[in-house]
Structure 1
């Protein structure tokens, strides 16, 4: 049992070290989000399962605070309204749960944080398509080979693809990226204070 636990720690460290190559793209994503927020736009976020929890985590760090006192920042996790999610799933299709919300809430200048460890979440992929139609920029957190989401992204979008296969390792790096985004956004908007 001890060796198995140690192996998890070792593998996590290796994946994080390999993912450090993403730092420039993470910084670019943070700049995009900070510019959007500075112009009065908002950040939308979506994902399924653990990625839904990550979307909510990111939104809460912006709406409340990350590590410094600052005004709340506009962010909406599209994963939290059970009535909306179940009505869209029931009346239309589960694959439409994010796209329909983005059509209603997304405005040019907003940013969508789209999270899928496999890169193959159909509802996230359709949400990206809706974001493009609404003039919403996309930052995608993926893993493995980027899946169908990688093919959906526009040249102006930013993909942060974790170089790993295991879902748990990808999720660990996604959380690190989310914390980097929060810290960088705060520094960009409030670093002088």
Structure 2
């Protein structure tokens, strides 16, 4: 029967959301403070999504610029890797068809990142169990004196993403635990919505 299988997707995701409320609240709150310091200090967000998380990056940048549920002036955010023409040109510049996708993104970070900016990375779930290599991207951020907010998605029993080992004490890791792709996407979006809502609270104060 199809209906029980469809319902199970909702049940599993709801269970994941409850668990994430406990595990993600602290790192998301820390990310709010980091992003608040950046935008009030004249900085901006550079937002990247790898693999299936590219859509999450686009959503995150749009929500950051447009706000969650309360009207406010837009906040500066750029989505990297979303323009096919730019990607094609930079791919040729860094190695052609064999270019490392992370190196292509790193080229954009070097060009656009300034001290005080923040790089937000949504790492897509590992393909065939092999994590994506993001070292050039994170190293580029550190070279340009950017802090990094790294979002990773992995099954509950899996080890942490190797990308998390590249972070320093000025960076933040937000590890989403989900056994299915649909759950990971739902958690990414809800956690980012909660982040922007908390940021708006800091900027605008409580609603009357």
- Coarse TM-score class (shorter-chain normalised): over 0.9
* CA distance, structure 1, for counterparts of residue 180 and residue 103 of structure 2: 27
Q: What's 2:139 paired with?
A: 129
Rg comparison, structure with higher value: 2
Matches within 5 A, 1:1-193: 1-20=2-21, 21-92=23-94, 93=99, 94-118=101-125, 120-122=131-133, 124-144=134-154, 145-191=159-205
Where in structure 1 are there 5+ consecutive unaligned residues?
none
CA RMSD of aligned residues (A): 1.7
- How far off is 1:66 after superposition? 2.2
> When the two structures are superposed, what TM-score results if normalisation uses the length of structure 1?
0.92
Kindly state the Cα deviation for residue 89 of structure 1 after the two structures are TM-superposed. 1.8
User: 1:38, 1:189 within 8 Å by CA — same for their partners in 2?
Assistant: no
Matches of 2:201 and 2:77, distance apart in 1: 17
Give the stretch that moved more between structures: 28-37 or 83-92.
83-92
Give SS of 2:152's match.
strand
Matched residues, number? 192
Please say if residues 117 and 143 of structure 1, whose CA atoms lie closer than 8 Å, have aligned partners that are also in contact.
yes
TM-score in terms of structure 2 length = 0.86
Unaligned runs of at least 5 residues, structure 2: none
Secondary structure at 1:159 match in 2: strand
- Determine if contact 1:110/1:136 at 8 Å carries over to the other structure: yes
